[in-house]
């Protein structure tokens, strides 16, 4: 790290830990030089970087001030209050329609599920693949069959250990992306007709899996900052048989909420009392805006009831489809299921990831990626705040790259989605995040692409929203 990066990091840490509060003024350049002995240009570069990251803002003639946390300038989201019934799910068709539209060429990717592909070290991965595959011992191909390459599993376990989380390599099964692990987990612990607890709103892939396996979904109240409501969950568990919970305790998709550690521990203990397995989708955990990786619920699991799924797809190697599951007491069953269906993750993908991880550089990449995503998120929030109609509320994502926008009354997310598509913008309407298409006021916006692409699209989207709200078809085409 250069000197200015170090200095910026120190200030950022003070902000993140609350020692510098919103509205506080940063030391002036003169003060900083005197106290820290750094040059004026170092201080200035550090402040500019913090500004890009959305942590501070400049006031003309006055200096730099700590900004309010992301999005605090718009109203807060309400805690969701689903109906309490377990429902059959029929959301797949809608999801496919929305995703197909968002994948079309020329459509601004605010509806996409992945951050900008230019953010990833694709050349280094190509080199790692080339080196690893050239050296590949033909006889070792068989070692890549499920549960996966032993050295890769060791590397994955090592990353958890560095963060103070104990996961044995033996417990880890390499999967074709997190999605294969999540689906296999759900299949392993349920029978058709069973009830599965989800957040509200929930990741649409969970809904699709529940629909595909003929299960019922039970939405539980969810706090947009702190995640699923444990009292509501306990009531539900007491009243009915629940076969599993599928949750994202860390940077929930779409809300971006983060369950505090104590709440995660309480969740695992509650589920253990009821002997209900937790399927934990942890794919965004490495993309934290804070100072350290949030602990997964799995780290509190003493009974092997947490099926913890993650992958490299969102943080290192999009498209390589390398994920993993640490499946506790269900590990053997899931490994066998994978052997019978996909048999292995490609030796090409496993070898590339293994060589990249063994060469080192992943943490450096992640630091850059987190800073970029946080800056993009801050800029996106500014754009929404500047252009969306009054009454719009926003999530306060603690990590990841999704922003959840609650539209003011009278504005339908599906209508805005359709209008946006006609203007070359994809978004994910709230209806796809609930079994009964309930979140008609919600929009999930992907802020993980380049500002030049995201910001004009967001501004156009804001203008469209205002036009739709005013029922003014003329306005609809104004940017």
**Which residues are near a copy of itself by CB under 8 A?**
92, 96, 103, 114, 117-118, 120, 122-123, 125-127, 129-130, 133-134, 136, 138-139, 141-142, 144-145, 176-177, 179-180, 183, 192, 205, 208-209, 212, 318-322, 336-337, 339-349, 352
HSE value, Cβ hemisphere, 13 Å, CA-based, for 170 = 3
Provide, rounded to whole angstroms, the least separation between the CB of residue 427 and a copy of itself.
17
Matching residue, tokens 């306060």: 396
Contact partners, residue 229, CB within 8 Å, separation at least 6: 79, 220, 221, 222, 223
Nearer to a copy of itself, 302 or 359 (CB): 359
Residue 443, classed as helix, strand or coil, is strand
Tally Cβ neighbours within 10 Å of residue 126: 12
Provide, rounded to whole angstroms, the least separation between the CB of residue 319 and a copy of itself.
4
Provide, rounded to whole angstroms, the least separation between the CB of residue 12 and a copy of itself.
28
- Beta carbons of 193 and 243 less than 8 angstroms apart: no
Radius of gyration of the chain (CA): 23
CA dist 1 and 42 (Å) reads 12
Provide, rounded to whole angstroms, the least separation between the CB of residue 314 and a copy of itself.
13
Nearer to a copy of itself, 92 or 440 (CB): 92
Residue 168, classed as helix, strand or coil, is coil
Nearer to a copy of itself, 271 or 425 (CB): 425
Provide, rounded to whole angstroms, the least separation between the CB of residue 183 and a copy of itself.
5
CA dist 323 and 175 (Å) reads 5
Provide, rounded to whole angstroms, the least separation between the CB of residue 220 and a copy of itself.
23
Tally Cβ neighbours within 10 Å of residue 459: 16
Contact partners, residue 60, CB within 8 Å, separation at least 6: none
Nearer to a copy of itself, 180 or 223 (CB): 180
Nearer to a copy of itself, 47 or 356 (CB): 356
Nearer to a copy of itself, 210 or 230 (CB): 210
């Amino acid at each position: 790290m250069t000197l200015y990066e170090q200095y910026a990091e120190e200030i950022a840490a003070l902000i993140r830990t609350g020692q510098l509060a919103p509205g506080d003024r940063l030391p002036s350049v003169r003060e900083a030089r005197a106290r820290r002995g750094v040059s004026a240009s170092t201080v200035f570069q550090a402040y500019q970087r913090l500004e890009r990251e959305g942590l501070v803002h400049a006031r003309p003639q006055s200096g730099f001030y700590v900004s309010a946390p992301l999005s605090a300038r718009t109203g807060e989201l309400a805690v969701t209050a689903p109906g309490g019934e377990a429902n059959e799910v029929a959301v797949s068709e809608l999801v496919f329609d929305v995703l197909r539209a968002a994948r079309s060429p020329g459509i601004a990717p605010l509806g996409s599920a992945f951050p900008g592909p230019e953010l990833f070290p694709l050349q280094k991965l190509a080199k790692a693949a080339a080196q690893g595959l050239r050296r590949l011992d033909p006889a070792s191909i068989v070692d890549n069959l499920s549960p996966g390459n032993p050295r890769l599993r060791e590397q994955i376990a090592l990353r958890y250990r560095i963060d103070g989380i104990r996961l044995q390599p033996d417990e880890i099964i390499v999967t074709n992306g997190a999605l294969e692990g999540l689906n296999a987990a759900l299949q392993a612990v349920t029978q058709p007709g069973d009830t599965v607890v989800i957040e509200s709103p929930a990741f649409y892939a969970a809904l699709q899996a529940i629909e595909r396996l003929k299960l019922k979904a039970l939405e539980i109240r969810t706090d947009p900052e702190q995640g699923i409501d444990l009292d509501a969950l306990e009531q539900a568990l007491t009243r009915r048989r629940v076969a599993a919970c599928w949750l994202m305790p860390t940077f929930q998709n779409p809300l971006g909420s983060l369950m505090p550690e104590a709440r995660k521990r309480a969740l695992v203990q509650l589920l253990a009392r009821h002997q209900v397995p937790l399927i934990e989708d942890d794919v965004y955990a490495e993309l934290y805006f804070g100072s350290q990786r949030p602990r997964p619920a799995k780290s509190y699991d003493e009974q092997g009831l947490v099926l913890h799924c993650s992958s490299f797809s969102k943080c290192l190697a999009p498209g390589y489809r390398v994920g993993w599951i640490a499946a506790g007491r269900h590990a053997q069953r899931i490994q066998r299921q994978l052997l019978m269906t996909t048999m292995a993750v490609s030796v090409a993908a496993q070898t590339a990831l293994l060589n990249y991880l063994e060469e080192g550089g992943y943490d450096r990449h992640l630091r850059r990626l987190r800073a970029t995503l946080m800056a993009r998120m801050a800029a996106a929030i500014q754009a929404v705040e500047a252009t969306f109609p009054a009454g719009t509320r926003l999530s306060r994502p603690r990590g990841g790259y999704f922003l959840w926008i609650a539209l003011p009354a009278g504005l339908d997310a599906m209508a805005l989605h359709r209008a946006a598509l006609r203007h070359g913008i994809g978004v994910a309407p709230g209806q796809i995040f609930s079994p009964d298409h309930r979140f008609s006021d919600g929009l999930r916006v992907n802020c993980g692409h380049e500002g030049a692409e995201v910001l004009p699209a967001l501004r156009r989207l804001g203008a469209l929203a205002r036009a739709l709200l005013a029922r003014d078809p003329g306005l609809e085409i104004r940017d």
